[in-house]
Amino acid sequence: MSSTLRYIDPDLEGPRRTEDARDELIKSLEKLVTGYPPKRSYDAEECRGLYSGPTSIAYLFLQISRSHPHLKIQGSSPQDWADAYLSGKRTFSAVTSANCGVINEFLAFHAVHATTYLDDTLDIQKLVAALRSTLEGEQHESDEWLYGRAGSLYLLRLIRAWSPSSARFIDLLDIPSKVMKPILDHGPSWPWHGKDYLGAVHGRIGIITQVILSDPSKAAHPVIIQSLKETLDLQDEHGNWPSSTNGSHNDLVQFCHGAPGFMIALKGIEPHLSFDPSLQERVVSAYNKAQQCVLKKGLLTKEPNLCHGISGNALALPKPWRGSFLDYTTAEAMEKGLREGSYIPGDDAYGLFCGEAGRAWAWLALVSEQERGMIGFNDV
């Protein structure tokens, strides 16, 4: 394999599935629980909501418990592991309009805890009370997915999907609409730290996706329509997008910035655009064009992960191609790549979006019969 600065030149024989995907899933999970086992307490810097840390791993195992409840990892079930990663003491950061996304440990923990123990209404009450503090704007408020209100929408949707009894309480208080209102008021662009980002994690397409998936009727909202059309216009001739509206480089091809994140987002919202066939057709066309970009430049040299690596890019592709990409993330390929220097080591060995937990999710998505989406983004 010859390498460039950012990606490996593709050496794909064609669409195929990795035959031992289930074995790779088990290897990944065993590496995860061995390298980062549950603890009695966690430092504040470890606890980063669904992005990284014990709550993110608990949510991974909770997902596995629903589809593979009898899978054993070192003798314990996925539900046992989810319980173990939720049980340790952790320090919570404040919930504000600038820190209310999926990375917020307080919100993510109570959302995952509520979906694990379905009769625990205290989690819902705490989460709703905290979200009310995000409705008033502050100097550095955020609407994006990782740190902002779009992430709040995902967490509310997670609870509504997994706990119908809790959903009734949330809907009675009209919390999703109240969280959504400032997002729509601030559009059609939502600057974050001074930049009008476009991608799934910090930008327009991530916000648009969370709004539409949380309330499909909002797909026809003028702000959403305008922002989506403007964002589609910025796709380049190779199928990629710049990281921001004033960005001069289109060289990032990852879930965070670029075509893979757009593909995952567009696939999720396309069914809700049937009221405008021409826009729906534009979305399909943009998706297909982006796929060619990912196939050409999506085998990244960063250590495989969901946010900035091959594992996340694989999730953007149809299943036949997904296995071809994930062949580059097997335990053997990982060991060889890191040893020989063809992979650049990451700085988060075990977290969901930048570490081993995310690689396990990608393998789970490959072995699952149903489409899984990106965990924490459009899996519910």
The answer to whether 157 touches 107, Cβ cutoff 8 Å, is: no
d(CA 320, CA 306): 19
CB-side exposure of 111: number of CA atoms within 13 Å?
30
Supply the angle between the helices 121-132 and 105-116 in degrees, to the nearest 10: 150
Structure-token pair, residue 264: 């995952």
Residues 6+ apart with CB under 8 A from 209: 150, 200, 265, 268, 269, 377, 378
Any known ligand binding at 249? Answer: no
Any known ligand binding at 70? Answer: no
d(CA 345, CA 177): 41
| DSSP conformation letters of 318-347 | -HHHHHHHHGGGSHHHHHHHHHHTSSB--S
CB atoms within 10 A of CB 259: 34
The answer to whether 247 touches 194, Cβ cutoff 8 Å, is: no
The residue count for the chain: 380
d(CA 308, CA 304): 8
The answer to whether 282 touches 290, Cβ cutoff 8 Å, is: no
Structure-token pair, residue 54: 């014990």
Any known ligand binding at 307? Answer: yes
d(CA 19, CA 7): 25
Residues placed in the known binding site for Zn(2+): 256, 307-308
Question: Can you say which residues are annotated as belonging to the binding site?
Answer: 256, 307-308
